[in-house]
A = this chain, B = another copy of it.
Amino acid sequence: MLADCCFCITDFKDSLNTVYSAIEEADFLAIDGEFSGISDGPNVSALTNGLDTPEERYMKLKKHSMDFLLFQFGLCTFTYDQAESKYVIKTFNFYIFPKPFNRTSPDTKFICQSSSIDFLASQGFDFNKVFRHGIPYLNQEEEVQLREQYEERRSQSNGSGNPSYISPNSNKGPGSIPEEHREYIGRVVEKVESLFTTSEKTKERYIQISKVDDEERKRRERQKQEREQEELNDAVGFSRVIHAISKSGKLVVGHNMLLDVMHTIHQFYCVLPEYFLYCFLRLLDTKLMATTQPFKVILFQVFRLTAEGFPSYDTAQEQLHEAGYDAYITGLCFISMRYNATLTSHVFARLFLMRIIDIPYLNISGPDLQPKRDHVLYVTFPKEWKTSDLYQLFSAFGNIQVSWIDDTSAFVSLSQTDQVQIAINTSRYAESYRIQTYAEYVQGRQQVRESQGHSTQSWDEDGWVKPHYTSPSTVGAGPTGYSYGHRHHLNKKSHSHFPSKERRHKNQKYS
């Protein structure tokens, strides 16, 4: 049975309770996002240097990937039915579009990348569903702003709890009347009052004016407030689903999910912090699991999983790269892996890092791994140089690995650490290029950081940076033999931690 359980703005509101229940009863959730692009930087290799630190990678993605739109969100809920010994799976596909809510609401701009759009087009992605019928959203900042707008308008029209009232004979009340207008206003009020004494209806279009008692006025105000609350909910739109996932505290599974998580926070929650040390979601990245387990083999061993009462995907039929389907497959893989291997606490809260040679994941619940990289050289050279020039320069040293930083610098990893000093000595009198050890390079950056108020770090005897503190859940060496480093800006004040709802509202300007 092929799923077409996708929600647009037309059916979103009616489906919301179904979504809420599915989240509430689930054992775990799987998510996936489709974006309008990946990188607005010059190219992907500049975005993903093989020797990035997790923090550097995060900063690059924050800078170069957040102006794209997450325009399809896939959610799949997995609930184990003990009696039937099988999983009940519910799949939801949401199309997302920041349709301006009213004249004062933000007119969002987002970037599209041709290659990404073309790829989705080739997969049959329905752009009309996004742009014509996408579900709107607000981040928490915008939600607060809009709520304040409503409240301000209400308190303005209410004065101090009294209905608005203009008297032509008084200078008091909301909006005092200048002397020169008093006569005119007086005449208007007379005309309005005369309307109550006549039942004549001569016009097709008219303004209905009625005198109401206090009871009736309060009833009408309650009605208006309810209407406004509903409008507000409509504007918050898809963000309500993210709030529900966050509040549920359920495990959220994704595959190579770093960008999905960043976009989700950025779009539906708040401006991304400088680095996320703690996240409001309990996360598990199956891509990270797959790097240490026989993922693909397991995938084809997937048990009979049936969905009850919900349309499900026929795994034989290719629906890859629809967000809901990707979330579905991710969930199946997670179940398979869980059946076939004991999950240790070490796989949680760690997001897979693509194309980093020696750091497999970003740790959102504690300090990141920090390899010493003592076989790595930092090389600067004229901007005409190509990879082949670097290969030639190091031709005496056997196999090398080049990780470009920018036009005039790159990391060069040697196969043997004891060659590092030879390379440095050889380069001493060179004029066109310059070689530093990785430690020297880090120290240079560190000095800049320290002058900006960042803390220092020291090396552990294992070759990892010594942590200044230990996180309870990730203490000591993990199963891979890594130990844990110190995150640079732990001593910085607010922005190294994921900010609480309340604090952000007060600190940040509406953008």
State the A residues within 8 Å of B (CB): 36-37, 40, 69, 97-100, 107-115, 117-118, 120-121, 126-128, 130-132
Contact = CB atoms under 8 A, between A and B. Distances in A.
Nearest to A107: B115
A337 to B, nearest CB: 34
Contact of A107 (B113, B121, B127): B113
Contact of A132 (B36, B69, B98, B121): B121
B114 A112 contact: no
Contact of A112 (B99, B100, B109, B120): B109
A113 B117 CA distance: 16
Nearest to A110: B112
Nearest to A41: B109
14 contacts: A99-B114, A100-B115, A100-B118, A108-B113, A109-B111, A109-B112, A109-B114, A110-B111, A110-B114, A120-B131, A121-B131, A121-B132, A126-B128, A127-B127
**Residue from the set A36, A40, A111, A132 with the largest chain B CB neighbour count within 10 Å:** A132
A220 B36 CA distance: 42
A69 B276 CA distance: 34
Contacts of A114: 97-100, 107-110
Given A128-B126, A128-B128, A113 B121 contact: no
A144 to B, nearest CB: 20
Given A109-B114, A117-B131, 15 more contacts: A36-B112, A40-B109, A69-B112, A97-B114, A99-B118, A100-B118, A107-B115, A108-B114, A109-B113, A110-B111, A110-B112, A111-B111, A111-B112, A112-B112, A126-B128
A112 B36 CA distance: 10
Contacts of A130: 127
Contacts of A112: 36, 69, 109-112
A130 B127 CA distance: 9
A69 to B, nearest CB: 8
A324 to B, nearest CB: 19
Contact of A127 (B37, B69, B132): B132
**What are the 10 closest A-B residue pairs judged by CB atoms, nearest first?**
A127-B127, A121-B132, A108-B114, A107-B115, A127-B131, A98-B114, A121-B131, A109-B113, A99-B118, A100-B115
A111 B120 CA distance: 17
A37 B110 CA distance: 10
A99 B118 CA distance: 6
Nearest to A133: B121
Contacts of A120: 131
A96 to B, nearest CB: 11
A177 B38 CA distance: 42
Nearest to A124: B132
Contacts of A108: 113-114
A97 B116 CA distance: 12
A132 to B, nearest CB: 4
Contacts of A99: 114, 118
A175 to B, nearest CB: 15
A322 to B, nearest CB: 15
